[in-house]
Structure 1
Amino acid sequence: MAEIGSSDTNTAEREIVDSLLAKLGLGALGSVRTYRGRHRNWAGTTVSGTEVFVKRIAPGSPGGARTLGRLIALESSDWAPVPRPRCLGWDADTGVLAYELVAPVRDGRRLADDGDFDEATAGRLGRLVARLHDAPCPPWLDSSCPPLPPLEELESLPVEVYRNACAAELELWRLLQGDEALTAAIRPLCTPPEAALTPVHGDLRLDQFVIGGSEVRLTDWDELRRGDPARDVGAFVGEWLFRSTLGIAAAGGTPGHEETVARGAARFGQVRPLIAAFWRAYRKERREPDADLVRRSAAFAGWHQFDRLLAGAEKQSRLLPVERAAAGIGRAVLLAPDRFATTLGLAA
């Protein structure tokens, strides 16, 4: 998770946070750090010496009540199929949740950025995800359809979304909405077979694997639900595919089509063994993965390119050539997931 600041000027929100921490007997936060994310967050040490991570799901935010309900249901239960940071408490009225800050650690994204993400690490993460998918579904687990892919927006954008979108977002939506074959390939991702459904994290990214010593903790359970395990597997694969594609630009220059393809293939070839190690460990750990999991996982890896592009297009004036390349790769995988599964490291 990328740090974006070490101060906070929103006095009202800090008072809300400190109020919860005081009720928990921890005392107010001292100096704080904040991180990029969909929700406001703060990390630091309280006056009692406790290191905490606090996030606020603002009341009235889109989907906020449902997200908060999922998190409170999780933390109110004893369901813990995989390690996660310990929740210290919450305030349902203000949407604030406090967690133990796990330190010293590095997350999966930092390991990848530093060149320290190896096959052994990938295998550890594969086993962890498999244990999550093998866990029983508790009765409180949300079974609603995930918000992404956004099926209604594939047809047309709501007026408010259109008004608030920047040029790059609108450009990407035009690519999606104007491609009937692509939208037809995306829609089935939202209707997985009932027999395949398991507990899923639902929003898996490399930075949500927090690694400290011999333990890996999985964070950010906002989208936890009963869903398609291919969503999580495909997100892991898609993260590496997206990083490889965007890394083309890091080599400098403005390569033509053939050189772009060659650079992308070379970069992905370097990380494919990590995906293969994740998948081997996952398959070995899972008790009975369904027969179609490989194909659906590849398809979700294709969708992940658009997921990341939509998240990154905010405040951009246009899509960059390398981002259009990522969209093209995502489209190709979505249209023919069986063809690309082995190439992506998902050997049957």
Structure 2
Amino acid sequence: MAAMAEIDSADGNCADQRIVNSLLAELGLGPLDTTPRTYGGRHRNWAGTTVSGTGVFVKRIVPGTLEADRRIRRLIALESADWVPVPRPRCLGWDPKTGLLVYELVTPARDGRQLADDDDFDETIADRMGRLVAKLHDAASPPWLDVSSPRLPPLGEMDALPLEVYRNACAAELELWRLLQKDEALIAALRHLSAIPETLHTPTHCDLRLDQFVIDGSDVQLVDWDELRLADPARDIGAFVGEWLFRSTLGIAPPDAAPDHGAIVARGAARFAAVRPLILSFWQAYREIRREPDTDLGRRSTAFAGWHQLDRVLAAAEGQSRLLPVERAAAGIGRALVLDPGRFAATLGLTI
């Protein structure tokens, strides 16, 4: 796993670290020899070097819920099999009871989000990522691959939020959910998007973001495979495109300012024009490698890029008292792409 953006170099969770060191010892690697680094993300994690000199990245998916247990099973199935369609960090071992998985630490390296933040993400990198994703989608489907429906878009929540989700949601999240649940056209479009024929399904990452790509020189690896399954490949393409679209949208105006409409439109157009060549490089490389992509792939990818805007706004809303104007703008863009992807596919560069 990569040396991602560090958030806490001296985490004090001693109980978890004891569990980590116990597994590392069982694997013959020995305990961590220094206080580990930890990084942002859905799951707790630790990175460091063991007393044997092995660099490790340890991730914990706390077991006990249906979704967490499914994630653990998917990862163990992947790492137990001789199936490596694209490069990924080597798994050194796991413990299903604690939900710990140990990976080889890839360093020095940066992830795609870091490169984008530092303005070091260029068309060559986008090309490599497009080729990698195409190879994944062209891979033979192993018999152990999960065939269940991806958890996103969360169609059940479009009707009603589970009580626990409702109780834990902040005001901005509930504001967005109210908008989504009243939008019958959007819900119908998302249901249609999630119901494509299984004959179009391929091995799909299903949680693709820029920080899931780890870049070490000319090498690109893909990480965080816990949503891997047989699904619509447009999900991965749309997520890559959606990442850049969301980044360009967030920069159209200061968060709490309200400049005139013309200035917002002009700035948004300029920001997207700056990242569109990256999308084109990714898509062209993908098409060069991918064997016979279906003719509707670009349109569906555009729709999933739209869903990605809504998903990112929902993530950004966490902990906020209200949706910011720029987040509402991103949600509006996402809605337009989901409702009429054929109209916007060429604008995004997703033509076949």
- Report the TM-score, using the length of structure 1 for normalisation: 0.97
Letter aligned with residue 16 of structure 1: I
Letter of the 2:139 counterpart: A
The answer to whether structure 1 residue 158 and structure 2 residue 185 are counterparts is: no
User: Is 1:144 matched with 2:127?
Assistant: no
2:30 corresponds to which residue?
27
Partner residue of 1:121?
A: 125
Which residue of structure 2 aligns with residue 11 of structure 1? 14
| Superposition deviation, residue 253 in structure 1 | 4.4
Q: Distance in 2 between matches of 1:126 and 1:296?
A: 17
Shift of residue 272, structure 1, vs aligned partner: 0.3
* Distance (whole Å) between structure 2 residues aligned to residue 310 and residue 240 of structure 1: 17
The whole-number CA distance in structure 2 between the counterparts of 1:251 and 1:165 is 21
Structure 2: where are the runs of 5+ without partners? none
Q: Which amino acid aligns with 2:222?
A: L
* Residue aligning to 1:305: 309
Counterpart of 1:207 in structure 2 is 211
2:81 alignment partner, SS class:
coil
Residue correspondence of structure 1 range 59-208 to structure 2 within 5 A = 59-61=63-65, 63-208=67-212
CA contact (8 A) 2:255 2:325 kept: no
Report the CA distance between 1:36 and its aligned residue.
1.0
2:265 equivalent to 1:243: no
Q: Distance in 2 between matches of 1:222 and 1:260?
A: 38
**CA–CA separation in structure 2 for the residues paired with 1:273 and 1:302:** 19
How much has 1:252 moved relative to structure 2? 8.7
Q: How far apart are the structure 1 equivalents of 2:248 and 2:320?
A: 21
Distance in 1, matches of 2:197 and 2:298, equals 14
Deviates more, 1:240-249 or 1:55-64: 55-64
Aligned pair partner of 1:346 in 342, 345, 350 = 350
The whole-number CA distance in structure 2 between the counterparts of 1:310 and 1:288 is 35
Offset at residue 347 of structure 1 (A)? 2.3
- Judged with a 3 Å threshold, the aligned counterparts in structure 2 of structure 1 residues 258 and 156 are, in CA distance, closer, same or farther, namely farther
Contact 1:142/1:226 (<8 A) preserved: yes
Q: Contact 1:276 / 1:347 at 8 angstroms: preserved in 2?
A: no
Task: Tell me if the contact between 1:89 and 1:98 (Cα under 8 Å) persists in the aligned partners.
Answer: yes
Give 1:264 deviation, angstroms. 1.1
Question: 1:333 maps to what in 2?
Answer: 337
| Correspondence 1:227 to 2:231 | yes
Structure 1 CA distance for aligned equivalents of residues 66 and 118 of structure 2: 35
Sequence identity, in percent? Answer: 72
Aligned partner of 1:43 among 28, 42, 47: 47
Q: Give the conservation status (yes or no) of the 8 Å contact 1:40–1:56.
A: yes
Structure-2 separation of matches of 1:201 and 1:345: 22
Contact kept in structure 2, 1:31 and 1:45, CA below 8 Å: no
What do residues 288-346 of structure 1 show as CA deviations (whole Å, max 9, x unaligned)?
A: 11111011000000000011111221111111110000001001111110000010111
Note if contact 2:57-2:102 (Cα within 8 Å) is conserved in structure 1: yes
What is the CA distance between 1:47 and its match in structure 2?
1.5
Q: CA deviation at 1:189?
A: 2.3
- Divergent runs of 4+, >6 A: none
Asked if structure 1 preserves the Cα contact closer than 8 Å seen for 2:256 and 2:324, the reply is no
Shift of 1:247: 1.5
Deviations 1:13-48 (A, max 9, x none): 111110110011111112211111111111111121
Helix, strand or coil: the match of 1:248? coil
